[in-house]
Amino acid sequence: MKKRPTLADVARSAGVSLMTVSRAINNKAGVSADVRKSILKLAKELGYHPNQIARGLATNYTTSVGLVVPDNTNPFFAQIARGVEDTAYDHGYNIFLVNTAEDATREESALNSLCQKGVDGLILISSRLPVKALKEEVALYPAVVLVNRELKPIPANTITVNINDQHGSQLAIRHFLASGRQRISYVNGPANSLSAKRRLEGYKKALEEAGLAFEPDLVERSAPDTDGGGYATTTLLKRRPDIDAIYAFNDLVAVGAMQTIEQLGKRIPEDIAVIGFDDIPLASIIRPQLTTLHVDLRQIGHLAMQTLLDKIAGNSRATSIQIEPQLVLRASTWS
Amino acid sequence: MKKRPTLADVARSAGVSLMTVSRAINNKAGVSADVRKSILKLAKELGYHPNQIARGLATNYTTSVGLVVPDNTNPFFAQIARGVEDTAYDHGYNIFLVNTAEDATREESALNSLCQKGVDGLILISSRLPVKALKEEVALYPAVVLVNRELKPIPANTITVNINDQHGSQLAIRHFLASGRQRISYVNGPANSLSAKRRLEGYKKALEEAGLAFEPDLVERSAPDTDGGGYATTTLLKRRPDIDAIYAFNDLVAVGAMQTIEQLGKRIPEDIAVIGFDDIPLASIIRPQLTTLHVDLRQIGHLAMQTLLDKIAGNSRATSIQIEPQLVLRASTWS
DNA sequence: TTGTATGCGTTATCAA
DNA sequence: TTGATAACGCATACAA
């Protein structure tokens, strides 16, 4: 690796002082147009690039932000991360990506580490930290965007971004009801999932709206993957063979449900209609294609990063943002 | 955000010099056991965390590395990234994640940016940069691991990690031949893909081994996704209705092929057998399940990061690493 | 075992 | 419009 030239090198080479070069490089006032031009030309020739470490030490700004997710491999988080990174790139920022692997210890450790690196802000998605620990961590950062998590009272440096899960459930259940389905079951997500809890509430609320009773044996918990959806559906259909619609916690669960339904010799959607959540690519790959609640995840990432930048810059009074999911009708609910 | 205490704060508070604290914090020799203990205790109380920016400026090490991928949303890169990040975490490193979006300009820009941030090393996956530009960029870093790309002659600071695509193709074609398939087509990947090229070579070589002629009209190019696979397969089967096996550039292409085959009323694998590449989760979700070449992507990420760390530490003489794919037999090739 | 001086590359502050 | 000097927080080298 060749040693990189420094500001002093350029200054010496140009026969001016360090500060003149600094001003020229940073487009700051106080240097005549022709001097600036010649300095910039020289800097380019020498291959000068500012050392951001040194700059960070002097200014306390790093043009880096932390992005903490449970698992970057999960398409849900991957899409959000992409939105975040794209927007960061547009603004000259870089992203520290960290996985927590659903492990609170690792999450805390990662958050401490990022903070030591002097990031300008933090985007924390689906944090599993208890309220107390979360508050302590959040307090270490200049600005924080919390996605898929709530925190009350919300700290002054923090903004939350959440999907309107409850409304999503209502859209799904209303669609089932409108197409004549009567015994709608919900394959719920993991117990520690905030979304799962909120979606269950929406499910109940939609039934209530329609004057239907909530029947607990139409709900079954599932791991948030295909296998989990398969198991849960087997259990459900054994218990309630009269089910004619399944609302699944997410698309993977929905696919597991669909496979189980077909194995049992029932037809989709004629015998049982299915709705998922998330609209991952798989939803339109499998047959029949899956009706699901679409969420523009990349847009969420974009929004989170944009909001964070605003907060860092000090021009933001937002505290809480809601994203509305949209029902995408496909073959798994056609009748 | 509360202002964070510095080494000097701790030193003042402890009534010792700055250096004594530094030594205690860094577990360095030259400080008595009890002094060290009391300093560490005090540091914890004050909530002291070393400022990595300052440390970076002083030591020229940042415990950060860059990870550049075309698209973190693609499960292929996402899995590798996860392996990289896990290993980085184990060693106290953080990852700058950057997407190139298949855009050479953005790739160069990102690489410059990372280098200004003073990363200790770089993992660059599927770089689309021309040789000259790539060499220039690589030269800016202390250590580089190039995944899914070759570079000759290989710079001293660089190590390459590649999947043995050619051998993977051979495994696939040999399996087709062993089960009696005669007219094996290859749905190739994009023209700018190194893997696609190498897999085609393996396909040809396997045919040659078996004494079969290479027939160009059994090969069709495809975008590396489901739709691409569908189109290409339609074209192929129109041209050569006698095809009895399809080897696809990757699993998504294979799934597209499978859907087209079924739409045409043919059976898998009785009429046409299919083999993919990558073994993404979808491969075992769809029905029939897809025979494919499994590559342990997370392991590749792990290996890349481990190798990079070795290189950074200066104890590595490796230059080039090959990963062997393994054929996983599933329903799409049973006969 | 402990402490002092110096420098890392940059920006901020003041003086010329 | 320019330049000298002092920070930023830490580690390295050397001295006590």
Q: What percent of chain B has pLDDT over 90?
A: 88
User: Are B230 and B259 in contact, with CB atoms under 8 Å apart?
Assistant: yes
Q: Which two tokens stand for residue B172?
A: 């696939």
- Rounded CA-CA distance A80/A299 in Å is 7
Instruction: Give the model confidence (pLDDT) of B120-140 as tens digits.
Output: 999 999 999 999 999 999 999
Q: Is the peptide bond before B288 cis (omega within 30 degrees of 0)?
A: yes
Whether the beta carbon of A22 falls within 7 A of nucleic chain C: the reply is yes
C-alpha R_g of chain B: 26
- Rounded CA-CA distance B96/B123 in Å is 10
Residue A329 contacts B where some CB pair is shorter than 8 Å: no
Euclidean distance between the first and final Cα of chain A, in Å?
65
For residue A158, what is the nearest residue in chain B, using CA coordinates? B1
Q: What is the pLDDT of residue A103?
A: 95
Residues of B in contact with A286 (CB under 8 A): 285-286
User: Helices B251-263 and B226-239, interaxial angle, to 10°?
Assistant: 50
CA distance B209 to chain A (A): 36
Q: What is the pLDDT of residue A2?
A: 62
Q: What is the pLDDT of residue B274?
A: 98
Q: Is residue B3's pLDDT more than 80?
A: no
Nucleotides of C under 7 A from a protein CB: 1-5, 7-13
Q: Is residue B184's pLDDT more than 70?
A: yes
Is A147 exposed, middle or buried (CB count within 10 Å of its CB: 0-12, 13-18, 19+)?
buried
Q: How confident is the model at residue B110 (pLDDT cuts 50, 70, 90)?
A: very high
User: Are A187 and A249 in contact, with CB atoms under 8 Å apart?
Assistant: yes
* Per-residue burial over A264-285, b = 16 or more CB atoms within 10 Å of its CB, e = otherwise: eeeebbeebbbbbbbbbebbbb
Instruction: List chain A pLDDT tens, one digit each, 335 residues.
Output: 667 899 999 999 888 999 999 999 999 888 888 889 999 999 999 999 999 999 999 999 999 999 999 999 999 999 999 999 999 999 999 999 999 999 999 999 999 999 999 999 999 999 999 999 999 999 999 999 999 999 999 999 999 999 999 999 999 999 999 999 999 999 999 998 899 999 999 999 999 999 999 999 999 999 999 999 999 999 999 999 999 999 999 999 999 999 999 999 999 999 999 999 999 999 999 999 999 999 999 999 999 999 999 999 988 888 999 999 999 999 999 86
Residue B203 contacts A where some CB pair is shorter than 8 Å: no
DSSP character at residue B288:
S
Assign 3-class secondary structure to chain A: CCCCCCHHHHHHHHCCCHHHHHHHHCCCCCCCHHHHHHHHHHHHHHCCCCCHHHHHHHHCCCCEEEEEECCCCCHHHHHHHHHHHHHHHHCCCEEEEEECCCCHHHHHHHHHHHHHCCCCEEEEECCCCCHHHHHHHHCCCCCEEEECCCCCCCCCCEEEEEECHHHHHHHHHHHHHHCCCCCEEEEECCCCCHHHHHHHHHHHHHHHHCCCCCCHHHEEECCCCHHHHHHHHHHHHHHCCCCCEEEECCHHHHHHHHHHHHHCCCCCCCCCEEEEEECCCHHHHCCCCCEEEECCHHHHHHHHHHHHHHHHHCCCCCCEEEECCEEECCHHHCC
Which pTM was predicted? 0.93
User: Are A159 and A141 in contact, with CB atoms under 8 Å apart?
Assistant: no
Is B313 exposed, middle or buried (CB count within 10 Å of its CB: 0-12, 13-18, 19+)?
exposed
Instruction: Give the model confidence (pLDDT) of B7-39 as tens digits.
Output: 999 998 888 989 999 999 998 887 888 888 989
Whether the beta carbon of A7 falls within 7 A of nucleic chain C: the reply is yes
Q: Is residue B335's pLDDT more than 70?
A: no
* Per-residue burial over B65-101, b = 16 or more CB atoms within 10 Å of its CB, e = otherwise: bbbbbbbbbbbbbbbbbbbbbbbbbeeebbbbbbbbb
Nucleotide nearest to A34 (CA to C1'): D1
Q: What is the pLDDT of residue B33?
A: 85
User: Are B184 and B176 in contact, with CB atoms under 8 Å apart?
Assistant: yes
Chain A and chain B share a number of CB contacts under 8 A equal to 137
Tell me the CA–C1' distance in angstroms for A52 and C16. Answer: 30
| Cβ neighbour number for residue A335 with a 10 Å cutoff | 8
Q: What percent of chain B has pLDDT over 70?
A: 99
Residue A115 contacts B where some CB pair is shorter than 8 Å: yes
Q: What is the pLDDT of residue A335?
A: 61
Residues of A in contact with B82 (CB under 8 A): 71-73, 99
Mutate to test the interface with A, among B44, B74, B116 (most CBs of A within 10 A): B116
Residue B170 contacts A where some CB pair is shorter than 8 Å: no
Mutate to test the interface with B, among A226, A262, A285 (most CBs of B within 10 A): A285
Instruction: Give the model confidence (pLDDT) of B144-163 as tens digits.
Output: 999 999 999 999 999 999 99
Residues of B in contact with A141 (CB under 8 A): 1
- Rounded CA-CA distance B245/B267 in Å is 11
Q: What is the pLDDT of residue A30?
A: 80
| Cβ neighbour number for residue B224 with a 10 Å cutoff | 20
Ramachandran assignment for B118, one of left (phi > 0), alpha (psi -120 to 50 degrees), beta (any other): left
User: Are B144 and B158 in contact, with CB atoms under 8 Å apart?
Assistant: yes
Residue B329 contacts A where some CB pair is shorter than 8 Å: no
Residue A170 contacts B where some CB pair is shorter than 8 Å: no
Question: Is the Cβ pair B89, A98 closer than 8 Å?
Answer: yes
- CA proximity to A62, closest of B47, B172, B64: B64
- Rounded CA-CA distance B118/A52 in Å is 7
- CA proximity to A172, closest of A225, A248, A251: A248
Tell me the CA–C1' distance in angstroms for A95 and C13. Answer: 33
CA distance A286 to chain B (A): 7
User: Are B91 and B309 in contact, with CB atoms under 8 Å apart?
Assistant: yes
Instruction: Give the model confidence (pLDDT) of B185-227 as tens digits.
Output: 999 999 988 999 999 999 999 999 999 999 999 999 999 999 9
- CA proximity to A246, closest of A236, B288, A29, A56: A236
- CA proximity to B168, closest of B248, B280, B56: B248
